[in-house]
Structure 1
Amino acid sequence: MSKFALTNGDYANLITVANHAIEERLPLADSLYADVVVSVDLDENLIEKSGVETDMNDIGFDVFIIAGQSNAVGRGKPIDNILDTSSNRVFQMPSQGPDKDMVIAAIDPLVHNGKIHPGTVGFGLTFAKLYADTIPNNRQVLLVPVANGGTGFVDNQWNPGNPSFNLAVQQSNLALTYPNSKLMGILWLQGETDYKQINQYQSRLDAGLTALRNQIKEATNTPIILGMITDSSPAYTSINNIIVDTPNRLLNCAIVTNEGLSANSVNDAIHYNAVSQRILGGRYFSKYLQLTKGLCPR
């Protein structure tokens, strides 16, 4: 898979990828994703298949930010060599390592900030592959993975000006320097660390998300989809109550439920397993469609 440097002025590589993508399309309801599609009850009336006319004057990235802590990074096990394959239309901009700030293939595990756990799955790639099937062939998906395990507001990581917050802003704005790149949404999954100060979580969450919108280019009213964490403790249930109420406090937000999802094991009840992460990806996609088409109640 090709890599691009942000200094690549001629943009020829992306054009090549776009042309290649036109020839190799994957249907949304591919049998490999039947479990995901069924699990979220995707409304086919909402889905605009990507067989629309290609506009080669509008080649670029639809950018999605994935932020939060370990469940946003993805600790789901086990990885599947078929279900979790990459797509020639989905890319990532790593937050660390030798490929930091480059555009490379989006492969699980995505290169978020912090420790990488080989053989694990997150929701981001499933979301992106489903989304890619609804956009014109000249558009590609660029994920900006900036989550970091074990981070929250209480430990001064996601408040405005904190390290994880600043990295999210920096990486997102960098991704948007590509010609014709458009910020499409923020996918948020976080809260486990903040059980230590639940009474301050709501105000900190609202301030953090609002500041992300203010400091990332084009993000003033960008859609934010928030996922629920596991209900593996009473404290996490309290955190989830705050998360679920977010659309009543902030505009253009929607919630992804944790109903029916499972953790890796009894000993790892915090982290969603691989099946649940894929289902989460489908639910994020479904909620995104509903929100952007004005069908999510506030």
Structure 2
Amino acid sequence: MVTKEAIRLVIGSGLFVTMQLLSLMTVQAQHQRLFLIAGQSNAVGQGDMHGSVYCKPGSAFEYSIDSDSLLPLSDPAGRNELHFEKANTGSISPSFALTYHNITGHEVIIVSAARGGSSCHAKAELDPYGSWSVAGRLPLFSDAVEKVKRAMDKTRVPLSGIIWLQGERDANAINDKKLTPQEYKDALRNLVSRFRKELNQDIPFYMVLTGYYKDHDVYGFNCVREQQQAIANEVNNVSIVYTDTNLFEERGWLKDSIHYNQQGLNAIGAAIAETISEKLN
């Protein structure tokens, strides 16, 4: 016969185990950092996985919304899920995670949410690439928010920051006189505001300045870079974390006319990890 005392012991034991597990999860979360990497093709990554870096087991992960799971981070990073794309075939993610982990000791969780050719302003949008604008034909913004929230629910880790690589599509639209620099600036400011409204009013927003398109007019690209810097100067907790993408052609860090090769992507990842770790720690 099962006595009341035995039942109380079993229940008490179960509560103790549950509390221990919750405590362990809390301690683990304190040693993890979650970042969103978003934007267009250079945020997706068009490098070479064979030149990417290696993250030791247990130090870096990426979140998949399709499987609702954390996967070991390695290139090609990112997933073909929602309206986002997998790296083709190398990205900044492993270099960023490796450097950040080496500096801080924190495990890094990446949420990849990038789509090649996507614009910031709806006027610059081209089919089938979409836009981060509320008027965009694809729900890129809402998809990114959903993926981040699901990752936070899964890991119990808050978002530490948004890393943004985007602007080439809008620069081309400025060159084509379909968009003004002020319209791009307003769209970028609005994007930051929308992310903060959905995720956290104080979330840091880290930008990599847009590079150049080889053999094309630099005017639109300089306009985008200037407006990105202006937003960083004017909006609290928005930072420029890498500036030298305009020098990639002379450094031999372009894969083609506009995409960064793996050497360039590794340099960006390591540099922004150093800058962000200083700001957060």
Q: TM-score range by the shorter chain?
A: 0.7 to 0.9
Tell me if structure 1 keeps the 8 A contact 2:34–2:157.
yes
Structure 2 residue 251 is matched with structure 1 residue 261: no
**Range moving further from structure 2, 152-161 or 278-287:** 152-161
- Does the CA contact (< 8 Å) of 1:64 and 1:143 recur in 2? yes
Aligned pairs for 1:138-217 within 5 A: 139-153=106-120, 154=122, 155=125, 157-160=131-134, 162=136, 163-195=139-171, 196=173, 197-199=179-181, 200-216=183-199
SS of equivalent to 1:181? coil
Please tell me the residue identity of whatever aligns with 1:129.
L
Provide the residue aligned with 1:110 in structure 2.
77
Counterpart in 2 of 1:131?
100
Question: Contact conserved, 1:184 with 1:223, CA < 8 A, in 2?
Answer: yes
Q: Distance in 1 between matches of 2:279 and 2:230?
A: 15
SS class of match (2:159): strand
Match of 1:45 in 2: none
Match of 2:271 in 1: 283
Residue 91 and residue 79 in structure 1: after superposition, are their counterparts in 2 closer, same or farther (change >3 A)?
same
Query: 1:201 and 1:212 mapped to 2: Cα distance?
Result: 17
In the alignment of these two chains, the number of paired residues is: 232
Larger radius of gyration: 2
Q: Secondary structure at the match of 2:78?
A: coil
Query: 1:180 offset after TM fit, Å?
Result: 3.7
2:91 alignment counterpart: 122
Per the normalisation by structure 2, the TM-score is: 0.73
Q: CA deviation at 1:128?
A: 1.2
Aligned twin of 2:11: none
Separation in 1, partners of 2:71, 2:49 = 23
5+ long unaligned stretches in structure 1: 1-9, 16-54, 294-298
Give the corresponding residue for 1:34. none
User: 2:47 corresponds to which letter in structure 1?
Assistant: G
1:221 aligns to what? Answer: 202
Mapped to 2, the partners of 1:286 and 1:198 lie a distance apart of 34
**Structure 2: any 5+ residue segments left out of the alignment?**
1-17, 174-178
User: How far, CA to CA, are the matches of 1:100 and 1:166 in structure 2?
Assistant: 19
**Partner SS, residue 153 of structure 2:** coil
**Partner secondary structure for residue 75 of structure 2:** coil
Distance apart, 1:238 and its partner CA: 1.5
The answer as to whether partners of 2:68 and 2:154 remain within 8 angstroms in 1 is no
Task: Flag the 1:100–1:148 CA change in 2: closer, same or farther, 3 A.
Answer: farther
Deviation at 1:187, TM superposition (A): 0.4
Structure 1 residue 287, shift from structure 2 partner: 2.1
Which residue of 2 is the match for residue 252 of structure 1?
Answer: 237
Residue 84 of structure 1 is matched in structure 2 by 53
* Contact map agreement 2:54 2:98 (CA 8 A) in 1: no
State how far apart, in whole Å, the 1-side matches of 2:26 and 2:152 are.
Answer: 17
Residue of structure 2 equivalent to 1:72: 43
Q: Is the 8 A contact 1:254 1:291 kept in 2?
A: no
* Contact 2:41–2:114 (8 Å) recurs in 1: yes
Change (3 A) 1:205 1:84: same
Contact 2:49 2:75 in 1 (8 A): no
Aligned equivalents of 1:198, 1:175: Cα separation in 2: 36
Q: CA separation in 2, counterparts of 1:280 and 1:264?
A: 13
Give the letter for the 2:226 counterpart: N
